[in-house]
Amino acid sequence: MNKIVFITGATSGIGLACAKKFAANGDKLIITGRNEQRLADIRQELTAKGTEVMTLAFDVRDRAKAEKCLNELPEEWQAIDVLVNNAGLALGLEPEYEGNFDDWDTMIDTNIKGLLTMTRLIVPGMIARNRGHIINVGSVAGDAAYAGGNVYCATKAAVKAITDGLRIDVANSAVRVTNLKPGLVETNFSNIRFHGDNDRATNVYKGIKPLTGDDIADVAVFAANAPEHVQIAEVLILATHQASGSVIVRK
C-alpha cells in the first residue's frame, strides 16, 4: 500500500535522498525545509516522475509555523503514515569550554526540540488510526562522545533516548518507531558544521569511502516497508573502515 511520507529537512543530504527513495517506492510525499524555492524545485523534479508531492516551507524550530502548516493540511494529506524526523545539524568542533552559545542553541532547538515538535504534532493522528511509523535520524555520535562533538553528541544521545521513550509509549498500538544512526555520510553536513569552510569539510572524508545519503535512505525505506509485525528499532550504519564515532581508518 502506498503511504504518505512526511520528511523534515528534505532539501538536501539524507532528507533529499529519502524523498527520492520513497518517491521511487511509489509513496506520496510531504517535504519540508526552510528554502521555499529549493522545495519547489524538488517538487517539480519528483512530480515529473509521477510522484504526488506537497511542500511545506518552515523551520522546525518555529513551533507556531509548524503547527499552522500541519493544521492547514488538506484532508487528503492528513493521514500521515511515515514521519521521517531528519532535520538536524552539527555546528562547530571546538572544545566545550570554547563553544559558541548560538551554535548550541541552534543544535538543541533543531535536533531535539524540532524533532519533539514534529512528533507531538503528527503522532497523535497515528495513534488514533492505530498505524504509522516514526523514523528518527540519530547518529553514531549519540552512542559516545568524540573530541569536539560535545553538544552535538549530546543532542543525538537525546534523540536515542527520545526514540526509545516514544517506542515504549506507543507499544500498545501498531505504531512503529525506528532510530537510524549513521556514521560518516558525505553530504553538506561538514560544510555546515564548519560554517562554509569547504577545505576543512572535504578533509573529513579524506582517505575513506564514506556513506551517501542514498545508503541511509535505503535503510529508511526498508524499515518502513518491513512486515507489520516487524519493528526495526535501531540501526547503526557505518562506512566499512569506520568502527565507531571516533575510530576511522584512513588509507
Q: Which residues are catalytic?
A: 152
CB atoms within 10 A of CB 68: 12
Q: Which residues pair with 246 in a beta bridge?
A: none
End-to-end CA distance of the chain: 44
Cβ 213 vs Cβ 219: under 8 Å: no
- Strand 82-85, strand 4-7: pairing: parallel
Query: In 28-128, at which residue ranges do the beta strands (DSSP E only) sit?
Result: 28-33, 53-57, 82-85
What is the three-class DSSP state of 81? Answer: coil
Q: Alpha-carbon torsion 161, 167, 168, 170, what sign?
A: positive
d(CA 107, CA 139): 14
Residue 21 burial class via C-beta count within 10 angstroms: exposed 0-12, middle 13-18, buried 19 and up: buried
What is the three-class DSSP state of 71? Answer: helix
